[in-house]
């Protein structure tokens, strides 16, 4: 029963809600069955999400967190226990005897059991440096993982555009078969009228069967590409899936590859090592409390077991690292220079690849301009050949030759267009711009 004051849902609205829910379920079912539309950016993201190596991301994060926590626990009191039993060849004794004074005789076996609590007060910044180093190492490992995952984009490009090319070739193959079938129908009409030989129809039929064979080969290869792509994105793909043809890109010249951050993070560790060299030269200060039980105790005039305690402060200052300070700084400087050289080399090689990719892009753009003109001419020749075949003034073999020529022109355009797109997206992955 509807609540008082509420309006009943109109039938039209209920129908819209039902249809929206039905379409949503249909979309989910299409994804589950390997159908629907997939863009290349979705393929990038799915491949990254489903690649087994991605699970290492959480492990690196947890390891870094635990390492930082462990470093921070250096400020907690340190509790230690010690035990000692000794036997010595001689003990302290007075060289004289005083009248009326009993001088105790010390035992040569002595025992000591005690515990000590140390509380760090000042460590010169060592724990802070350890925390920063742990965080820097986590950044390096995460970025190294990003570099490895980023390499997936190239593999996705190859499979995605390979499947698109095969799909377009299958479509063109169907157009070719339609042209051949059209020729068969017209030639069969001439044979029925007694104005053409049966061999002409057989010639066309043979070419039609060859086109069928080509379709089988293309479909099998496309299935292999889709199967491999499906493994990467963890989704079964079948012939009903649509790989959305990506748009032409506006290319950028800048380089934003994850490797560059990887070099920067590595360089940061050498800055922390420089700070550590300073920390090692600073004094360390702590307080302590020691309590125990043993013989003798703190009273040296007693040979009995006794409880005792000691409290105080400790200061330590190790200046031994002064001997190696200069060379250690020079080594860090050389390591930084080495990283700078590696980074410059990477950028240099990337720029060279950019030039090559850009040259290929310009080539495909020019080829596509010529492709359109060639297709128009080949299509005109095919139409004339089609009319000549219908009038019985052109042989089946010549007709097939003209049909093949137009088909080859269209195949070339398909190849050039897909190669242009693949090169553009390869360029985008190469530079690291506008990618996932």
What does the pLDDT look like over 122-165, one tens digit per residue?
Answer: 999 999 999 999 999 999 999 999 999 999 999 999 999 999 99
Question: Average pLDDT in the 109-128 region?
Answer: 92
State how far the Cα of 336 lies from the Cα of 422, in Å rounded to an integer: 37
CA-wise closest residue to 129 among 121, 120, 137: 137
Write the pLDDT tens digit of every residue in 294-353.
Answer: 988 888 778 889 999 999 999 999 888 888 899 999 999 999 999 999 999 999 999 999
Write the pLDDT tens digit of every residue in 180-218.
Answer: 999 899 888 888 888 778 888 899 999 999 999 999 999
At 320, which helix (H) or strand (E)? none
Residue 7 clears pLDDT 70, i.e. is over it:
no
- Match 């609590």 to its residue by tokens: 117
For residue 247 the two structure tokens come to: 């748009």
Write the pLDDT tens digit of every residue in 249-298.
Answer: 888 889 999 999 999 999 999 999 999 999 999 999 999 999 999 988 88
Collapsed DSSP state (helix, strand, coil) of residue 280: coil
State how far the Cα of 275 lies from the Cα of 264, in Å rounded to an integer: 17
Strand order in the sheet with 109-122: 78-87, 109-122, 284-295, 306-316
Give the helix ranges, DSSP H, for 117-252. 126-150, 152-192, 198-233
**Residue 91: DSSP 8-state:** -
Mean of per-residue pLDDT scores for the chain: 87
Give the helix ranges, DSSP H, for 255-321. 258-279
Q: Does residue 152 belong to any structural domain of this protein?
A: yes
Q: Does residue 118 belong to any structural domain of this protein?
A: no
Note the pLDDT of residue 166: 94
Note the pLDDT of residue 35: 57
State how far the Cα of 294 lies from the Cα of 292, in Å rounded to an integer: 7
Rounded to the nearest 10 degrees, how much is the dihedral formed by the CA atoms of 299, 301, 303, 309?
0
| Phi, psi at 379, each rounded to 5° | -65, -40
CA-wise closest residue to 243 among 153, 158, 156, 161: 161
Question: Average pLDDT in the 227-247 region?
Answer: 90
Rounded (10°) angle between helices 152-192 and 396-431: 170
Confidence of residue 18 (pLDDT cuts 50, 70, 90): very low
Note the pLDDT of residue 34: 53
Give the chain's radius of gyration (CA, Å): 41
Q: Does residue 166 belong to any structural domain of this protein?
A: yes
Q: What is the largest CA-CA distance in the chain?
A: 157
Give the helix ranges, DSSP H, for 193-304. 198-233, 258-279
**Positive/negative CA dihedral, 30, 34, 35, 40:** positive
Residue 43 clears pLDDT 60, i.e. is over it:
yes
**Positive/negative CA dihedral, 315, 320, 322, 324:** negative
- Match 């043979």 to its residue by tokens: 206
Confidence of residue 424 (pLDDT cuts 50, 70, 90): very high
The gap between the terminal CA atoms of the chain, to the nearest Å, is 51
CATH value at residue 332: 1.20.1600.10
Q: Does residue 359 belong to any structural domain of this protein?
A: yes
- Which residues form the domain of 422? 38-81+133-283+326-431
State how far the Cα of 186 lies from the Cα of 180, in Å rounded to an integer: 10
Residue 19 clears pLDDT 50, i.e. is over it:
no
Q: Does residue 305 belong to any structural domain of this protein?
A: no
Residue 36 clears pLDDT 50, i.e. is over it:
yes
Report the domain count for the chain: 1
| Phi, psi at 274, each rounded to 5° | -60, -40
Secondary structure, 3-state, 258-272: HHHHHHHHHHHHHHH
Write the pLDDT tens digit of every residue in 370-415.
Answer: 999 999 999 999 999 989 988 888 888 898 999 999 999 999 999 9
Note the pLDDT of residue 177: 92
Q: Does residue 332 belong to any structural domain of this protein?
A: yes
Q: Does residue 97 belong to any structural domain of this protein?
A: no
The answer to whether residues 288 and 119 touch, using CB atoms and an 8 Å cutoff, is yes
Note the pLDDT of residue 434: 65
Write the pLDDT tens digit of every residue in 59-90.
Answer: 999 999 989 999 888 889 999 999 999 998 88
Collapsed DSSP state (helix, strand, coil) of residue 75: helix
Residue 20 clears pLDDT 60, i.e. is over it:
no
Q: Does residue 423 belong to any structural domain of this protein?
A: yes
């Amino acid at each position: 029963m509807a609540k008082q004051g509420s309006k009943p849902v109109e039938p039209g609205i209920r129908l819209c809600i039902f249809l929206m829910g039905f379409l949503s379920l249909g979309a989910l079912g299409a994804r589950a069955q390997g159908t629907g539309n997939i863009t290349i950016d979705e393929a990038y993201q799915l491949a990254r999400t489903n690649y087994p190596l991605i699970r290492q991301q959480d492990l690196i994060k947890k390891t870094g967190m635990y390492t930082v926590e462990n470093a921070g626990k250096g400020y907690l009191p340190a509790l230690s226990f010690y035990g000692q039993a000794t036997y010595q060849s001689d003990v302290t004794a007075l060289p004289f005897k005083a009248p009326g004074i009993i001088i105790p005789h010390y035992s040569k076996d002595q025992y000591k059991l005690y515990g000590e609590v140390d509380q760090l007060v000042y460590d010169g910044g060592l724990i802070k440096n350890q925390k920063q180093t742990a965080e820097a190492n986590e950044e390096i490992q995460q970025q190294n993982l990003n570099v490895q995952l980023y390499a997936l984009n190239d593999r996705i490009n190859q499979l995605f555009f390979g499947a698109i090319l095969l799909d377009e070739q299958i479509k063109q193959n169907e157009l070719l078969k339609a042209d051949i079938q059209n020729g068969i129908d017209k030639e069969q009409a001439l044979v029925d009228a007694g104005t053409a030989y049966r061999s002409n129809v057989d010639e066309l039929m043979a070419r039609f069967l060859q086109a069928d064979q080509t379709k089988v080969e293309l479909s099998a290869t496309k299935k292999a590409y889709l199967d491999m792509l499906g493994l990467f994105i963890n989704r079964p793909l079948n012939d009903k899936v649509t790989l959305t043809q990506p748009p032409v890109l506006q290319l950028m010249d800048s380089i934003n590859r994850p490797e560059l951050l990887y070099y920067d993070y590595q360089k940061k560790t050498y800055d922390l090592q420089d700070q550590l060299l300073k920390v090692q030269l600073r004094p360390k200060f702590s307080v302590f409390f020691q309590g125990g039980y043993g013989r003798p105790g703190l009273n040296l005039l007693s040979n009995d077991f006794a409880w005792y305690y000691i409290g105080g402060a400790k200061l330590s200052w190790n200046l031994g690292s002064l001997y190696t300070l200069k060379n250690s700084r020079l080594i860090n400087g050389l390591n930084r220079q080495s990283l700078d050289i590696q980074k410059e080399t990477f950028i240099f090689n990337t720029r060279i690849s950019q030039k090559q990719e850009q040259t290929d892009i310009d080539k495909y753009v020019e080829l596509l301009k010529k492709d359109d003109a060639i297709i128009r001419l080949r299509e005109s020749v095919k139409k004339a050949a089609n009319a000549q075949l219908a009038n019985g003034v052109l042989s089946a073999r010549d007709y097939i030759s003209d049909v093949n020529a137009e088909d080859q022109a269209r195949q070339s355009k398909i190849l050039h267009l897909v190669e242009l797109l693949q090169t553009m997206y390869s360029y985008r992955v190469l530079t690291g711009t506008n990618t996932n």
